[in-house]
Structure 1
């Protein structure tokens, strides 16, 4: 909770900091909301208290699955709390074109520079056309090659666990090499996840 989400009464920075720490510890993001600024109202002896008490939070995996989702704070009717409506189908104008967002983690992939270079060389020589071709190829690259970082991380962790369980039963040179290869790929994926979290936090 921020001081801008509070009107009337006394704002506690300590409690707000504790709430933010809980979100960080649980790897959750506040989706924020459209519509009414405050979700709870109360009139105490002529003094109106208003706060944004109700909110929707999600993790990065959910946001990646529903990138166009947003929350609406609806008007109060039967309660001093506003109902929240979660929409997952994009902006209110129902625009068919989803905004393109460059993912910083793409740049860590060994093939991404080549994807951009080839797309740029294939376009007609104008800045707008070049960026459009790069955008199309980047989206295709993300879908067909790069994939979902968190899904890939879980799959690598499962593979690594399986190899290490095999190594517990006995030494194997080939399994040891496979273990190191998976660990290197997992390290790279964790770095990409770090980029993803950082970019999401900036947004």
Structure 2
């Protein structure tokens, strides 16, 4: 794991070499966290007062983040981390400090967060990075139907078997019972039979590579037949994985474009059940899972 502490220069031309060096440094296949004073904002919404930043400087910074495949670490509290300390209309604030990370870092800490602490002697807010390696659940996991299941031969057989089972009641009550049974059956089937698409893809890719290595050393009709059959099966699982990613990230263009599964999966992990703080109408902040859960229940009870 790599942690880079950044202190960027004031002149945007001087920062360009830093952006270039960091992008090259980020080519290492390691979890990477960057934090510190980047001395530039991404857009005018990240400042209050003061002179506008140069558009080319903000564009350089955003291009660096995109080129490095970096993501913003979610933050809480006041995002305007810097203040010039002047009085009256000359006073200005800006978000010069932040934390960025790559997808591999999110694999380790899917709930990483950034808190801007109160400024004291410095004109910059201290940065506190919180690391969590698991999701906090506030109840049972939600059942989600996966479109990719329909491409598997066993899927329709399971649906048919569940639907043919007898049930008491009639009309909508009977339908509800069948759907509940089907949900339970699909959960078990997905866990025990269908499995994780990534594991199937990895296994089949290794099998293809092994077969092609054997063919390079000594040709065999049986090995060639097995390689071709494995490639067909691999193609099916790759299509299922594309379907899963498209359904999960809800990006319409992904149906026609190239799937960057690592990037989008990282985004989904970061956002899924990622309620780490809650701000109430009276201005109070809640940060513990117990307090957030209690307040959420109280809020919806008022509608009853």
Task: Please tell me whether residue 41 in structure 1 is matched to residue 86 in structure 2.
Answer: no
Q: Note the 1:100-111 alignment, pairs <5 A.
A: 100-111=143-154
How many angstroms apart in 2 are the aligned matches of 1:51 and 1:127?
Answer: 56
Structure 1 residue runs of 5 or longer lacking an equivalent are: none
1:16 aligns with: 62
Q: Please give the root-mean-square deviation of Cα atoms over the aligned residues, in Å.
A: 3.6
Q: Could you say if the C-alpha distance between residues 163 and 3 of structure 1 is closer, same or farther in structure 2, counting changes exceeding 3 Å?
A: same
**What secondary structure does 2:81 align onto?**
strand
Larger Rg: 2
Q: CA deviation at 1:123?
A: 6.9
1:119 aligns with: 162
Deviations 1:156-196 (A, max 9, x none): 11111111111112221111110011100111111112122
How many angstroms apart in 2 are the aligned matches of 1:52 and 1:109?
Answer: 49
Q: Could you say if the C-alpha distance between residues 155 and 120 of structure 1 is closer, same or farther in structure 2, counting changes exceeding 3 Å?
A: same
Count residues in correspondence. 190
Structure 2 residue runs of 5 or longer lacking an equivalent are: 1-40, 168-172, 251-267, 269-304
Contact 1:31 1:70 in 2 (8 A): no
Q: Note the 1:1-203 alignment, pairs <5 A.
A: 6-8=46-48, 10=53, 12=58, 15-16=61-62, 19-20=65-66, 22-23=68-69, 33=74, 35-36=76-77, 38=79, 41-44=81-84, 45=86, 46-50=91-95, 53-55=98-100, 57-58=102-103, 62=107, 70-76=111-117, 80-91=125-136, 94-122=137-165, 124=167, 126-202=174-250
Contact 1:157 1:186 in 2 (8 A): yes
How many angstroms apart in 2 are the aligned matches of 1:4 and 1:113?
Answer: 53
**Normalised TM-score (structure 1):** 0.71
Q: Could you say if the C-alpha distance between residues 5 and 109 of structure 1 is closer, same or farther in structure 2, counting changes exceeding 3 Å?
A: farther
**Normalised TM-score (structure 2):** 0.51
